[in-house]
Amino acid sequence: MAAITARISSFFGRVPRWVYIVAVLAFAIAFPMLEYFGLMQTLWLRVGTRALVYVLLAVGLNLVLGETGLLHLGYVAFFAVGAYTTAILSSPRFDIQWNFWVIIAIAMGLAMLFGFLIGVPTLRLRGDYLAIVTLAFGEITRMTLNNWEGLTNGPGGIPGIYPPQIFGWTVDSPAEFFYLLLVTVVIVVWLLNNLKNSRIGRAWNALREDEIAAHHAGVGPTRAKMLAVVMSSGIAGLAGAIFAYYQQFINPTYFLFMQSVIVVSMVVIGGMGSIPGAILGAVVLDTTPEIIRQTFTSWLPAAIGPDFLPGVQAAMQTEFDRYRMAIFGLVIVLMVVFRPEGLLPNKLWRREMHEEDPRELEKTGQHLFDFEEGTQDLEV
Amino acid sequence: MAEVILEVRSATKNFGGLKAVNNLSFDLHKGEIVSLIGPNGSGKTTTFNLITGLYEPDSGDILMQGESIAGLKPGQIYARGISRTFQMLRLFSNMSVLENVLVGMHGRTKANVIDCMFRTPRMRREEEASIVRAREILAMFPGRFPLARHTQPAASLSYANRRRLEIARALAGEPRLLLLDEPVAGMNPAESMEVMRQIRDLRDAGYTILMIEHDMNVIMGASDRVIAMDHGIKIAEGAPVDVANDPAVVEAYLGRRGADTAS
Ligand SMILES: Nc1ncnc2c1ncn2[C@@H]1O[C@H](COP(=O)(O)OP(=O)(O)O)[C@@H](O)[C@H]1O
Ligand SMILES: [Mg+2]
């Protein structure tokens, strides 16, 4: 079993990375066209669009959780800050429609400011304080949104958010939002990937691996962590701003603690500290419940007959949200048991390509693993 | 005598009632290898921690090239030209061998967030230079870090190579003073001799080295001077042979060994 898995992953490992990138991008670009040509229900386009919002959140949180190793439990609060920025500045609520770019800048700037304010007291201290304070901040944010009726209209939320105008392009259909988000994801991922492969990304990783050693190697822990927290807050703000435009209506129930937990799960399941992992984790966790629902309510009944488990069908239709969380829990338990390192763990591709390629080893006469004392090293 | 690079002046560090380092003073001169010896628990690692800023001395002062560094953070002390290795290895296990060395250059490189996000030409130039330098440093351990090993995780290295990698990471900071905490711990005699030669090469290349060591062959073979500690106090200082034969030193080791057997 292990041997088979190893061979499969070694095969996939030898495919150059750009092939994956091109394939994934090609699929993403073609995806809305499936709907346009009637090959796919609009439902799936909506699922895909929402998945892209989660992808933004997952790659953003990965910066803190995966790359820097800090537990952050209130990520949805920064998402909410971005979403309410859009809702307040581009809706009938105050009868204003500010420019898209200005709103994005304010959303990101505000989220980053909050990230900074939370970082100041917590990042100097040991790890767990950030988790506790972010958790509290998430709840405070939601309560503020619920109670500051003059600004947010409380639990009633803000309806009728105006669509964004980007260089004269009015973004107002699911397909257009899908493309807007896709471009955003590509830019954000490109920038984050550059950062990851730089002295700053290495400093984050070093802090995650061993903070004391990193500090002795000249990495200022507080500054580097602050940068990660502020940047990931900005990405959540950006995701929130676009999400509000897309959703056209938001209220505080979109920003429950559970959402933070879901994004954490996406990063963990994808593989902490791996950008492809975060992307895959977001897509898998966002689409799996929907796929299961469709399996029971439409695909299986269509294949087997409309009276296929009518009780399950009814339950899936009316009470799906409860099952959704159960499915999440199940996926997480399965992952922890069978693949704790995540779906696409950190650096898998690179290691596969460089170390496990037998030709490479032959060339250099090196073995995959360095041997312990008394065996290999003695002979050298 | 060459110029003084590091001065420890009456440094004291208490842990509760325990005086781990007690009124300790010594100088290091440019280009010498000094061994810090003493029984376990005599305060050697704590001395390192005081010099590198992990702890702040309760009293006394530490001067690097004439300027006080007591109370500075480890990152700031690194910037003054002091790098170290750890008794209990502290590598970045899930990062590659090369990345471990590159992290050692963090404080010597300048690319900012914007440079790194957009991979500006300035950043790429610096990055390339860093990688070239990191490979040079790894090549200072002949045969130990061939190219294929550079991309392997540090955790996959043998114990001896992990010790070497820690030295490489410390060298990446381009330090003037190198603190090595038990650099040959856990190595066999042949490997110990190899590391000893390397330490001498480093001195000849201009580094000043303070090392904590237990291995008598390494201490005798590599050090220009030896400082012996017991119970946080300096009990002897001088040429290796003199310190090794100093009655107080013999007493400290024998006395402690007796106590160890008893417990
Ligand atoms: N962080 C600490 N907290 C409490 N006691 C410590 C700490 N670090 C070291 N000590 C104590 O200080 C003494 C000196 O330790 P150390 O400097 O590690 O000795 P050495 O390196 O010479 O073996 C020991 O008794 C040790 O238990
Ligand atoms: Mg020690």
SS3 call for B212: strand
For residue A13, name the pLDDT band (cuts at 50, 70, 90). Answer: low
The full DSSP string for A106-154 is HHHHHHHHHHHHHHHHHTTS-THHHHHHHHHHHHHHHHHHHH-HHHH-G
More confident residue, A239 or A332: A239
Residue-wise pLDDT tens digits, A26-58: 999 989 988 888 788 888 999 999 999 999 999
Q: Contact A350/B151, CB-based, under 8 Å? A: yes
Q: Contact A199/B86, CB-based, under 8 Å? A: no
* Ranges A11-15, B116-120, B142-146, B186-190: which has the least confidence: A11-15
More confident residue, A334 or A203: A203
> Mean pLDDT throughout A319-340?
79
Enumerate the CATH 3.40.50.300 domain ranges in chain B, comma separated: 1-81+175-263
More confident residue, A261 or A323: A261
| Residues having CB within 6 Å of any atom of ligand 1 | B 15, 18, 20, 38, 40-46
User: Ligand 1, residues B8, B12, B13, B15: which to mutate, most atoms within 8 A of Cβ?
Assistant: B15
pLDDT value of residue A363: 38
Residue-wise pLDDT tens digits, B187-242: 899 999 999 999 999 999 999 999 999 888 889 989 999 999 999 999 999 999 99
| Rounded-to-integer distance, Cα B206 and Cα B169, Å | 17
What superfamily in CATH does domain B1-81+175-263 come from?
P-loop containing nucleotide triphosphate hydrolases (3.40.50.300)
- The token pair at B147 is 């190219």
* Ranges A121-130, A131-140, B227-236: which has the least confidence: A121-130
Distance B46 CA to ligand 1 centre (A): 6
Q: Does domain A41-354 have CATH number 1.10.3470?
A: yes
Q: Does B117 touch chain A (CB under 8 A)?
A: yes
Q: Does B159 touch chain A (CB under 8 A)?
A: yes
| Rounded-to-integer distance, Cα A77 and Cα A233, Å | 9
* Ranges A28-37, A59-68, A158-167: which has the least confidence: A28-37
Interface residue of B98, B102, B115, B117 to substitute, partner A, most A CBs within 10 Å? B117
By CB atoms closer than 10 A (0-12, 13-18, 19+), residue A145 is buried
Ramachandran sector of residue A89 (left: φ over 0; alpha: ψ -120 to 50; beta: rest): alpha
Q: Does B186 touch chain A (CB under 8 A)?
A: yes
Residue-wise pLDDT tens digits, A192-244: 999 999 999 999 999 999 999 999 999 999 999 999 999 999 999 999 999 99
How high is the ipTM of this complex?
Answer: 0.91
Q: Which amino acid would we find at residue B50?
A: L
> Mean pLDDT throughout B139-145?
91
By CB atoms closer than 10 A (0-12, 13-18, 19+), residue A322 is exposed
Q: Which amino acid would we find at residue A229?
A: V
pLDDT value of residue A144: 95
Percentage of residues of chain B with pLDDT beyond 70: 97
Residues of B in contact with A354 (CB under 8 A): 148, 151
Does residue A361 surpass a pLDDT of 80? no
Does residue B68 surpass a pLDDT of 90? yes
Residue-wise pLDDT tens digits, A232-276: 999 999 999 999 999 999 999 999 999 999 999 999 888 888 999
Q: Contact A351/B146, CB-based, under 8 Å? A: no
Q: Contact B74/A361, CB-based, under 8 Å? A: no
Q: Which ligand 1 atom lies nearest to the CA of residue B44?
A: 22
pLDDT value of residue A5: 66
Q: What is the mean pLDDT of chain B?
A: 92
The DSSP H or E segment spanning A289 is: helix A275-294
Token pair 């050298």 is found at A380
Q: Could you tell me the residue ranges of all domains in chain A?
A: 1-39, 41-354
Range A323-327, long-range pairs (CB < 8 A, 24+ positions) = A323/A289, A323/A292, A323/A293, A324/A289, A325/A258, A327/A288, A327/A289, A327/A292
Distance of CA B187 to the CA centre of its chain: 17
For residue A1, name the pLDDT band (cuts at 50, 70, 90). Answer: low
More confident residue, B12 or A361: B12
